[in-house]
Structure 1
Protein backbone atom coordinates (compact mmCIF):
# COMPACT_ATOMS: atom_id res chain seq x y z
CA UNK A 1 0.00 0.00 0.00
CA UNK A 2 1.32 3.45 -0.94
CA UNK A 3 1.80 5.94 1.85
CA UNK A 4 2.38 9.21 0.00
CA UNK A 5 -1.22 10.47 0.14
CA UNK A 6 -2.63 13.17 2.44
CA UNK A 7 -3.03 12.02 6.03
CA UNK A 8 -1.09 8.81 5.47
CA UNK A 9 1.75 9.71 7.79
CA UNK A 10 -0.43 10.53 10.79
CA UNK A 11 -2.92 7.72 10.24
CA UNK A 12 -5.66 10.12 11.36
CA UNK A 13 -8.94 10.92 9.61
CA UNK A 14 -8.67 12.65 6.26
CA UNK A 15 -10.45 15.89 5.41
CA UNK A 16 -12.93 15.34 2.59
CA UNK A 17 -11.30 17.25 -0.28
CA UNK A 18 -10.48 16.57 -3.91
CA UNK A 19 -6.91 15.75 -2.85
CA UNK A 20 -7.98 13.19 -0.25
CA UNK A 21 -10.64 11.61 -2.47
CA UNK A 22 -7.98 11.35 -5.15
CA UNK A 23 -5.48 9.81 -2.72
CA UNK A 24 -7.96 7.24 -1.40
CA UNK A 25 -9.00 6.13 -4.88
CA UNK A 26 -5.39 6.07 -6.08
CA UNK A 27 -4.47 3.79 -3.20
CA UNK A 28 -7.42 1.52 -4.01
CA UNK A 29 -6.11 1.20 -7.56
CA UNK A 30 -2.52 0.65 -6.36
CA UNK A 31 -1.15 3.60 -8.32
CA UNK A 32 1.73 5.92 -7.46
CA UNK A 33 1.25 9.65 -7.99
CA UNK A 34 3.60 9.40 -10.98
CA UNK A 35 1.49 6.64 -12.54
CA UNK A 36 -1.73 8.58 -11.95
CA UNK A 37 -0.25 11.75 -13.45
CA UNK A 38 0.82 9.76 -16.51
CA UNK A 39 -2.66 8.29 -16.93
CA UNK A 40 -4.24 11.73 -16.70
CA UNK A 41 -1.75 13.34 -19.10
CA UNK A 42 -0.23 15.83 -16.66
CA UNK A 43 2.93 16.33 -14.67
CA UNK A 44 3.12 15.36 -11.00
CA UNK A 45 3.48 19.06 -10.12
CA UNK A 46 0.36 19.95 -12.10
CA UNK A 47 -1.51 17.06 -10.48
CA UNK A 48 -0.75 18.65 -7.12
CA UNK A 49 -2.16 21.97 -8.31
CA UNK A 50 -5.33 20.34 -9.63
CA UNK A 51 -5.89 18.55 -6.32
CA UNK A 52 -5.33 21.75 -4.35
CA UNK A 53 -7.37 24.24 -6.36
CA UNK A 54 -10.39 21.96 -6.97
CA UNK A 55 -13.31 22.35 -9.40
CA UNK A 56 -13.25 26.08 -10.14
CA UNK A 57 -9.57 25.88 -11.13
CA UNK A 58 -9.43 23.46 -14.07
CA UNK A 59 -12.56 21.40 -14.88
CA UNK A 60 -10.88 19.73 -17.87
CA UNK A 61 -7.97 18.47 -15.79
CA UNK A 62 -10.33 17.26 -13.06
CA UNK A 63 -12.36 15.41 -15.67
CA UNK A 64 -9.21 13.72 -16.96
CA UNK A 65 -8.24 12.90 -13.40
CA UNK A 66 -11.64 11.33 -12.69
CA UNK A 67 -11.32 9.18 -15.79
CA UNK A 68 -7.80 8.10 -14.79
CA UNK A 69 -9.17 7.16 -11.35
CA UNK A 70 -12.08 5.27 -12.92
CA UNK A 71 -14.64 7.24 -10.94
CA UNK A 72 -17.48 9.65 -11.79
CA UNK A 73 -16.49 13.30 -12.18
CA UNK A 74 -19.10 14.50 -9.68
CA UNK A 75 -17.88 12.02 -7.09
CA UNK A 76 -14.30 13.28 -7.36
CA UNK A 77 -15.30 16.96 -7.17
CA UNK A 78 -18.14 16.81 -4.64
CA UNK A 79 -17.75 13.48 -2.84
CA UNK A 80 -20.06 10.45 -2.71
CA UNK A 81 -23.75 11.27 -2.78
CA UNK A 82 -26.41 9.71 -0.64
CA UNK A 83 -28.56 7.39 -2.76
CA UNK A 84 -32.05 8.68 -3.45
CA UNK A 85 -35.02 6.72 -2.04
CA UNK A 86 -35.67 3.73 -4.24
CA UNK A 87 -32.16 3.87 -5.68
CA UNK A 88 -30.86 5.87 -8.62
CA UNK A 89 -28.98 5.13 -11.83
CA UNK A 90 -25.22 4.84 -11.48
CA UNK A 91 -23.34 7.99 -12.42
CA UNK A 92 -21.66 7.81 -15.83
CA UNK A 93 -17.94 7.15 -15.81
CA UNK A 94 -15.68 9.37 -17.93
CA UNK A 95 -13.30 7.56 -20.27
CA UNK A 96 -10.02 8.94 -21.61
CA UNK A 97 -8.49 8.46 -25.04
CA UNK A 98 -5.16 9.94 -26.13
CA UNK A 99 -4.89 12.38 -29.02
CA UNK A 100 -1.95 12.24 -31.45
CA UNK A 101 0.17 15.38 -31.44
CA UNK A 102 -1.11 16.48 -34.85
CA UNK A 103 -4.70 16.22 -33.62
CA UNK A 104 -3.75 18.27 -30.54
CA UNK A 105 -2.67 21.14 -32.75
CA UNK A 106 -5.79 20.78 -34.90
CA UNK A 107 -7.99 21.03 -31.81
CA UNK A 108 -6.16 24.16 -30.68
CA UNK A 109 -6.95 25.76 -34.04
CA UNK A 110 -5.42 29.15 -34.78
CA UNK A 111 -6.39 31.05 -31.65
CA UNK A 112 -8.51 30.90 -28.52
CA UNK A 113 -8.41 31.24 -24.74
CA UNK A 114 -6.31 28.94 -22.55
CA UNK A 115 -4.47 28.89 -19.24
CA UNK A 116 -0.78 29.18 -18.43
CA UNK A 117 0.83 27.72 -15.34
CA UNK A 118 3.90 29.49 -13.97
CA UNK A 119 6.19 28.72 -11.06
CA UNK A 120 5.94 31.36 -8.35
CA UNK A 121 6.54 31.85 -4.65
CA UNK A 122 4.92 30.74 -2.39
CA UNK A 123 2.62 28.81 -4.78
CA UNK A 124 2.41 28.35 -8.56
CA UNK A 125 -0.02 30.59 -10.45
CA UNK A 126 -2.43 29.69 -13.23
CA UNK A 127 -3.82 32.51 -15.36
CA UNK A 128 -6.14 32.77 -18.38
CA UNK A 129 -4.65 34.15 -21.61
CA UNK A 130 -5.83 34.48 -25.16
CA UNK A 131 -3.38 32.74 -27.48
CA UNK A 132 -2.35 32.25 -31.08
CA UNK A 133 -0.88 29.14 -32.68
CA UNK A 134 2.22 30.07 -34.68
CA UNK A 135 3.59 26.99 -36.42
CA UNK A 136 4.03 24.33 -33.75
CA UNK A 137 4.30 26.91 -30.95
CA UNK A 138 1.83 28.86 -28.82
CA UNK A 139 2.19 32.62 -28.41
CA UNK A 140 0.37 35.09 -26.21
CA UNK A 141 0.52 38.77 -25.38
CA UNK A 142 0.86 40.14 -21.87
CA UNK A 143 2.25 42.99 -19.80
CA UNK A 144 6.01 43.02 -19.31
CA UNK A 145 6.70 42.40 -15.64
CA UNK A 146 3.10 41.33 -15.00
CA UNK A 147 1.82 38.13 -13.41
CA UNK A 148 1.58 36.32 -16.75
CA UNK A 149 5.07 37.33 -17.93
CA UNK A 150 7.65 34.56 -17.43
CA UNK A 151 11.36 35.24 -17.60
CA UNK A 152 13.19 34.20 -20.74
CA UNK A 153 13.88 30.47 -20.50
CA UNK A 154 11.37 29.77 -17.71
CA UNK A 155 9.56 26.44 -17.73
CA UNK A 156 5.78 26.75 -17.97
CA UNK A 157 2.63 24.85 -18.84
CA UNK A 158 -0.22 25.77 -21.16
CA UNK A 159 -3.63 24.14 -21.38
CA UNK A 160 -6.66 24.69 -23.58
CA UNK A 161 -9.82 22.65 -23.67
CA UNK A 162 -13.42 22.39 -24.73
CA UNK A 163 -15.49 20.76 -22.00
CA UNK A 164 -19.19 20.10 -21.49
CA UNK A 165 -19.37 19.56 -17.72
CA UNK A 166 -23.05 18.58 -17.86
CA UNK A 167 -22.31 15.71 -20.25
CA UNK A 168 -18.77 15.05 -18.92
CA UNK A 169 -17.25 15.06 -22.37
CA UNK A 170 -14.85 17.15 -24.40
CA UNK A 171 -11.13 17.43 -25.07
CA UNK A 172 -8.05 18.89 -23.44
CA UNK A 173 -4.54 19.71 -24.70
CA UNK A 174 -1.60 20.27 -22.36
CA UNK A 175 1.74 21.72 -23.48
CA UNK A 176 4.80 21.98 -21.28
CA UNK A 177 7.77 23.91 -22.54
CA UNK A 178 10.05 26.92 -22.34
CA UNK A 179 9.22 30.64 -22.49
CA UNK A 180 10.80 32.82 -25.16
CA UNK A 181 10.34 36.59 -25.44
CA UNK A 182 9.55 37.74 -28.98
CA UNK A 183 11.48 40.90 -29.73
CA UNK A 184 11.83 40.90 -33.51
CA UNK A 185 9.76 43.90 -34.75
CA UNK A 186 8.63 42.13 -37.91
CA UNK A 187 7.41 39.08 -36.02
CA UNK A 188 5.61 41.28 -33.46
CA UNK A 189 3.93 43.28 -36.24
CA UNK A 190 2.84 40.11 -38.02
CA UNK A 191 1.42 38.52 -34.88
CA UNK A 192 -0.40 41.71 -33.92
CA UNK A 193 -2.54 41.56 -37.07
CA UNK A 194 -3.72 37.99 -36.51
CA UNK A 195 -7.33 37.21 -35.46
CA UNK A 196 -7.52 36.96 -31.69
CA UNK A 197 -4.29 38.94 -31.17
CA UNK A 198 -5.89 41.66 -29.07
CA UNK A 199 -5.77 40.78 -25.36
CA UNK A 200 -9.26 39.92 -24.16
CA UNK A 201 -8.51 41.36 -20.72
CA UNK A 202 -7.53 44.76 -22.16
CA UNK A 203 -4.88 47.02 -20.66
CA UNK A 204 -1.25 47.46 -21.65
CA UNK A 205 0.16 44.33 -23.30
CA UNK A 206 3.66 45.10 -24.50
CA UNK A 207 5.27 41.63 -24.35
CA UNK A 208 4.79 38.69 -26.70
CA UNK A 209 5.71 35.30 -25.23
CA UNK A 210 6.33 32.17 -27.27
CA UNK A 211 6.00 28.74 -25.67
CA UNK A 212 8.51 26.33 -27.21
CA UNK A 213 6.95 22.89 -26.58
CA UNK A 214 8.86 20.19 -24.79
CA UNK A 215 5.86 17.86 -24.63
CA UNK A 216 2.40 18.04 -26.21
CA UNK A 217 -0.31 15.73 -24.88
CA UNK A 218 -4.03 15.61 -25.47
CA UNK A 219 -7.02 13.64 -24.26
CA UNK A 220 -10.62 13.26 -25.35
CA UNK A 221 -13.15 12.59 -22.62
CA UNK A 222 -16.35 10.60 -23.16
CA UNK A 223 -18.83 9.02 -20.77
CA UNK A 224 -20.16 5.48 -20.78
Structure 2
Protein backbone atom coordinates (compact mmCIF):
# COMPACT_ATOMS: atom_id res chain seq x y z
CA UNK A 1 0.00 0.00 0.00
CA UNK A 2 1.46 3.33 -1.09
CA UNK A 3 1.43 6.28 1.28
CA UNK A 4 1.03 9.87 0.13
CA UNK A 5 4.19 11.80 1.11
CA UNK A 6 2.11 14.63 2.61
CA UNK A 7 -0.56 12.52 4.29
CA UNK A 8 0.29 13.95 7.72
CA UNK A 9 -0.22 17.52 6.49
CA UNK A 10 -3.44 16.53 4.71
CA UNK A 11 -4.77 14.88 7.86
CA UNK A 12 -3.99 18.01 9.89
CA UNK A 13 -5.83 20.20 7.36
CA UNK A 14 -8.85 17.91 7.53
CA UNK A 15 -8.90 17.90 11.33
CA UNK A 16 -8.45 21.68 11.49
CA UNK A 17 -11.30 22.27 9.06
CA UNK A 18 -13.47 19.72 10.89
CA UNK A 19 -12.92 21.59 14.15
CA UNK A 20 -13.72 24.93 12.47
CA UNK A 21 -17.07 23.52 11.33
CA UNK A 22 -17.79 22.01 14.75
CA UNK A 23 -17.99 18.45 13.40
CA UNK A 24 -17.15 15.40 15.45
CA UNK A 25 -15.27 12.48 13.94
CA UNK A 26 -18.51 10.51 13.78
CA UNK A 27 -20.38 13.34 12.07
CA UNK A 28 -17.70 13.76 9.40
CA UNK A 29 -17.55 10.01 8.78
CA UNK A 30 -21.35 9.72 8.51
CA UNK A 31 -21.68 12.63 6.08
CA UNK A 32 -18.85 11.23 3.95
CA UNK A 33 -20.57 7.79 3.86
CA UNK A 34 -17.93 5.84 5.77
CA UNK A 35 -17.29 4.46 9.23
CA UNK A 36 -15.14 6.35 11.78
CA UNK A 37 -12.62 3.49 11.65
CA UNK A 38 -12.35 3.80 7.87
CA UNK A 39 -12.00 7.58 8.17
CA UNK A 40 -9.03 7.09 10.50
CA UNK A 41 -7.55 4.57 8.04
CA UNK A 42 -7.78 7.15 5.23
CA UNK A 43 -6.14 9.87 7.29
CA UNK A 44 -3.22 7.55 8.03
CA UNK A 45 -2.88 6.24 4.47
CA UNK A 46 -3.33 9.34 2.32
CA UNK A 47 -5.37 10.07 -0.84
CA UNK A 48 -3.75 7.38 -2.98
CA UNK A 49 -5.41 4.72 -0.80
CA UNK A 50 -8.95 5.80 -1.76
CA UNK A 51 -9.20 9.05 -3.81
CA UNK A 52 -13.04 9.04 -3.99
CA UNK A 53 -13.18 8.75 -0.20
CA UNK A 54 -11.09 11.91 0.11
CA UNK A 55 -13.28 13.66 -2.48
CA UNK A 56 -16.31 12.98 -0.29
CA UNK A 57 -14.44 14.28 2.76
CA UNK A 58 -13.47 17.45 0.86
CA UNK A 59 -17.08 17.99 -0.24
CA UNK A 60 -18.36 17.65 3.34
CA UNK A 61 -15.75 20.12 4.57
CA UNK A 62 -16.36 22.55 1.70
CA UNK A 63 -12.76 22.33 0.49
CA UNK A 64 -11.57 22.37 -3.11
CA UNK A 65 -9.37 19.40 -4.07
CA UNK A 66 -6.12 21.44 -4.42
CA UNK A 67 -6.83 23.08 -1.07
CA UNK A 68 -7.18 19.67 0.58
CA UNK A 69 -3.94 18.36 -0.95
CA UNK A 70 -1.67 21.36 -0.52
CA UNK A 71 -3.51 23.98 1.49
CA UNK A 72 -3.52 26.30 -1.55
CA UNK A 73 -6.69 27.93 -2.80
CA UNK A 74 -6.03 28.28 -6.53
CA UNK A 75 -8.78 30.82 -7.22
CA UNK A 76 -7.84 33.21 -4.41
CA UNK A 77 -6.00 36.46 -5.30
CA UNK A 78 -2.88 37.19 -3.27
CA UNK A 79 -3.73 38.39 0.22
CA UNK A 80 -7.34 37.22 0.04
CA UNK A 81 -9.05 34.10 1.32
CA UNK A 82 -11.46 33.22 -1.47
CA UNK A 83 -12.13 29.50 -1.15
CA UNK A 84 -12.87 29.02 -4.87
CA UNK A 85 -15.33 26.38 -6.02
CA UNK A 86 -16.87 24.36 -3.23
CA UNK A 87 -18.41 20.95 -3.61
CA UNK A 88 -21.96 20.19 -2.56
CA UNK A 89 -22.67 16.65 -1.40
CA UNK A 90 -26.08 15.40 -2.59
CA UNK A 91 -27.72 12.15 -1.51
CA UNK A 92 -28.83 9.69 -4.18
CA UNK A 93 -31.90 7.49 -3.92
CA UNK A 94 -31.48 3.73 -4.09
CA UNK A 95 -32.97 3.54 -7.63
CA UNK A 96 -30.52 6.26 -8.72
CA UNK A 97 -27.68 4.22 -7.21
CA UNK A 98 -28.61 1.10 -9.17
CA UNK A 99 -28.98 3.16 -12.34
CA UNK A 100 -25.46 4.51 -11.91
CA UNK A 101 -24.10 1.04 -11.19
CA UNK A 102 -25.47 -0.06 -14.56
CA UNK A 103 -25.15 -3.70 -15.45
CA UNK A 104 -21.38 -4.04 -15.24
CA UNK A 105 -18.23 -2.11 -14.49
CA UNK A 106 -15.29 -1.83 -12.13
CA UNK A 107 -15.60 -1.36 -8.39
CA UNK A 108 -13.76 -1.86 -5.11
CA UNK A 109 -14.63 -4.66 -2.74
CA UNK A 110 -13.75 -4.16 0.93
CA UNK A 111 -13.22 -7.28 3.04
CA UNK A 112 -12.10 -7.87 6.64
CA UNK A 113 -8.33 -8.13 7.06
CA UNK A 114 -6.09 -9.19 9.91
CA UNK A 115 -5.14 -5.62 10.88
CA UNK A 116 -7.16 -3.35 8.55
CA UNK A 117 -9.82 -3.60 5.82
CA UNK A 118 -8.58 -5.02 2.52
CA UNK A 119 -9.84 -3.04 -0.48
CA UNK A 120 -9.40 -4.59 -3.94
CA UNK A 121 -10.50 -3.58 -7.44
CA UNK A 122 -12.70 -6.09 -9.26
CA UNK A 123 -14.87 -6.07 -12.34
CA UNK A 124 -18.50 -6.84 -11.56
CA UNK A 125 -21.96 -7.52 -12.96
CA UNK A 126 -25.35 -6.56 -11.54
CA UNK A 127 -27.85 -9.39 -11.24
CA UNK A 128 -31.29 -8.90 -9.66
CA UNK A 129 -30.17 -6.09 -7.32
CA UNK A 130 -27.05 -7.94 -6.22
CA UNK A 131 -23.40 -7.51 -7.19
CA UNK A 132 -21.42 -10.48 -8.47
CA UNK A 133 -17.73 -10.71 -9.28
CA UNK A 134 -15.38 -13.53 -10.25
CA UNK A 135 -12.00 -14.14 -8.67
CA UNK A 136 -9.43 -16.86 -8.03
CA UNK A 137 -10.37 -19.47 -5.39
CA UNK A 138 -8.41 -18.87 -2.21
CA UNK A 139 -7.36 -15.40 -3.33
CA UNK A 140 -7.56 -12.14 -1.41
CA UNK A 141 -10.97 -11.34 -2.91
CA UNK A 142 -12.42 -14.76 -2.07
CA UNK A 143 -14.18 -14.35 1.32
CA UNK A 144 -15.75 -16.90 3.60
CA UNK A 145 -19.49 -17.38 3.26
CA UNK A 146 -21.38 -14.65 5.09
CA UNK A 147 -18.39 -12.31 5.48
CA UNK A 148 -19.31 -8.64 5.96
CA UNK A 149 -18.40 -6.74 2.84
CA UNK A 150 -18.51 -3.27 1.35
CA UNK A 151 -18.59 -2.55 -2.36
CA UNK A 152 -17.93 0.89 -3.82
CA UNK A 153 -18.26 2.18 -7.36
CA UNK A 154 -17.43 5.76 -8.28
CA UNK A 155 -16.83 8.09 -11.18
CA UNK A 156 -14.70 11.20 -10.58
CA UNK A 157 -13.72 13.79 -13.20
CA UNK A 158 -10.06 14.42 -13.95
CA UNK A 159 -9.87 17.39 -11.62
CA UNK A 160 -11.63 15.45 -8.84
CA UNK A 161 -14.04 18.29 -8.23
CA UNK A 162 -17.26 16.50 -9.21
CA UNK A 163 -18.61 12.99 -9.61
CA UNK A 164 -20.55 10.33 -7.76
CA UNK A 165 -20.01 7.39 -5.46
CA UNK A 166 -22.23 4.43 -4.57
CA UNK A 167 -21.54 2.34 -1.46
CA UNK A 168 -23.08 -1.08 -0.78
CA UNK A 169 -22.88 -2.80 2.61
CA UNK A 170 -23.89 -6.42 2.93
CA UNK A 171 -22.65 -9.99 3.01
CA UNK A 172 -20.54 -11.99 0.57
CA UNK A 173 -21.65 -15.45 -0.51
CA UNK A 174 -19.44 -17.62 -2.73
CA UNK A 175 -21.53 -19.25 -5.46
CA UNK A 176 -21.56 -23.03 -5.05
CA UNK A 177 -23.92 -24.34 -7.74
CA UNK A 178 -23.09 -24.90 -11.38
CA UNK A 179 -26.46 -23.52 -12.53
CA UNK A 180 -25.81 -20.20 -10.79
CA UNK A 181 -22.24 -20.10 -12.12
CA UNK A 182 -23.47 -20.63 -15.66
CA UNK A 183 -26.14 -17.97 -15.24
CA UNK A 184 -23.61 -15.37 -14.05
CA UNK A 185 -21.00 -16.34 -16.64
CA UNK A 186 -23.55 -15.73 -19.41
CA UNK A 187 -24.22 -12.13 -18.36
CA UNK A 188 -22.70 -9.35 -20.52
CA UNK A 189 -19.37 -8.15 -19.19
CA UNK A 190 -18.76 -11.21 -17.03
CA UNK A 191 -15.18 -11.77 -18.24
CA UNK A 192 -13.02 -11.89 -15.09
CA UNK A 193 -9.67 -10.31 -14.32
CA UNK A 194 -8.63 -13.38 -12.33
CA UNK A 195 -8.97 -16.83 -13.77
CA UNK A 196 -7.98 -20.40 -13.24
CA UNK A 197 -9.36 -23.82 -14.06
CA UNK A 198 -12.63 -22.92 -12.32
CA UNK A 199 -12.81 -19.32 -11.07
CA UNK A 200 -14.90 -18.53 -8.03
CA UNK A 201 -18.02 -16.37 -8.30
CA UNK A 202 -18.88 -14.22 -5.27
CA UNK A 203 -22.29 -12.63 -4.86
CA UNK A 204 -22.72 -9.55 -2.64
CA UNK A 205 -26.22 -9.31 -1.18
CA UNK A 206 -26.87 -5.73 -0.05
CA UNK A 207 -28.20 -4.76 3.35
CA UNK A 208 -27.83 -1.05 2.57
CA UNK A 209 -27.28 0.91 -0.64
CA UNK A 210 -26.30 4.57 -0.39
CA UNK A 211 -24.92 7.09 -2.82
CA UNK A 212 -23.57 10.60 -2.98
CA UNK A 213 -23.16 12.99 -5.88
CA UNK A 214 -20.59 15.77 -5.62
CA UNK A 215 -21.71 18.87 -7.50
CA UNK A 216 -19.67 22.03 -7.74
CA UNK A 217 -22.48 23.90 -9.43
Which TM-score applies when normalising by structure 2? 0.87
Q: How far did residue 127 of structure 1 move? A: 0.6
SS of 1:17's partner is helix
Aligned match for 2:15, one of 19, 23, 33: 23
Cα distance in 1 between the residues matched to 2:61 and 2:75? 24
Q: How far did residue 30 of structure 1 move? A: 1.4
Contact 1:63 1:94 in 2 (8 A): no
Contact 1:67 1:94 in 2 (8 A): yes
Cα distance in 1 between the residues matched to 2:162 and 2:132? 27
CA RMSD between the two structures: 2.2
Indicate the residue corresponding to 2:44 in structure 1.
52
Indicate the residue corresponding to 1:101 in structure 2.
94
Runs of at least 5 residues in structure 2 that lack an aligned partner in the other structure: 1-6
Aligned match for 1:117, one of 103, 110, 113: 110
CA separation of 1:27 and 1:106: change in aligned 2, threshold 3 A:
same
Cα distance in 2 between the residues matched to 1:218 and 1:86? 35
Indicate the residue corresponding to 1:172 in structure 2.
165
Indicate the residue corresponding to 2:64 in structure 1.
72
Q: How far did residue 117 of structure 1 move? A: 1.1
Q: How far did residue 74 of structure 1 move? A: 2.0
Contact 2:65 2:160 in 1 (8 A): no
Aligned match for 1:42, one of 21, 34, 37: 34
Q: How far did residue 85 of structure 1 move? A: 10
Indicate the residue corresponding to 2:3 in structure 1.
none
Give the stretch that moved more between structures: 103-112 or 162-171.
162-171
Matched, 1:81 2:72: yes
Per-residue deviation, residues 40-94 of structure 1 (Å, max 9, x unmatched): 1222232223323322222222111111112112222x23128799638743111
Q: After superposition, where does 1:66-215 map in structure 2 within 5 Å?
A: 66-76=58-68, 78-81=69-72, 87=78, 90-166=83-159, 168-199=161-192, 201-204=193-196, 206-215=199-208
CA separation of 1:167 and 1:40: change in aligned 2, threshold 3 A:
closer
